[in-house]
Amino acid sequence: MKYDFKNNVLTVYLSGEIDHHGARKIREETDSLIQQNKPVLLNMDFSDVGFSDSSGIGLIMGRYRLMSLYGGKTKVINIPERLRYVMNLSGLSSLHITDK
């Protein structure tokens, strides 16, 4: 997974297809980066994600919770439109973690 860390901001660049099978590896890698670097802001960039089911939402919410434990914020960049639609529908958009 590509990432960069500067000025206390961690950005992870997700790619490919995100489902239950693939989410575990992304979760483990992202969490270890968060624990090592203790960023004030985590950006999750979905620009190169071609497909995501609700496992993508689980991934976002799990990282949001971990970042909150450290007092950090989470932002999602270019969330796939189906995920945004369902997050709006279920009230998760009130957390203001998506960019649109």
Judged by the rule CB under 8 A, the positions of this chain that interact with other proteins are 17, 19-21, 23, 27, 51, 53-55, 57-59, 61-62, 82, 85-86, 89-90
**At closest approach, how far in Å is the CB of 99 from other proteins?**
19
Indicate the residue among 55 and 98 with the shorter CB distance to other proteins. 55
**At closest approach, how far in Å is the CB of 5 from other proteins?**
23
CA distance 83 to 16: 15
Provide the 3-class DSSP secondary structure of residue 10: strand
Indicate the residue among 4 and 31 with the shorter CB distance to other proteins. 31
Please answer whether residues 86 and 53 qualify as being in contact, where contact means their C-beta atoms are separated by less than 8 angstroms.
Answer: no
Indicate the residue among 14 and 59 with the shorter CB distance to other proteins. 59
**At closest approach, how far in Å is the CB of 74 from other proteins?**
14
Cβ atoms within 10 Å, residue 2:
10
Give me the helices (H) in the chain, please: 20-37, 55-69, 81-89
Indicate the residue among 10 and 87 with the shorter CB distance to other proteins. 87
CA distance 39 to 65: 14
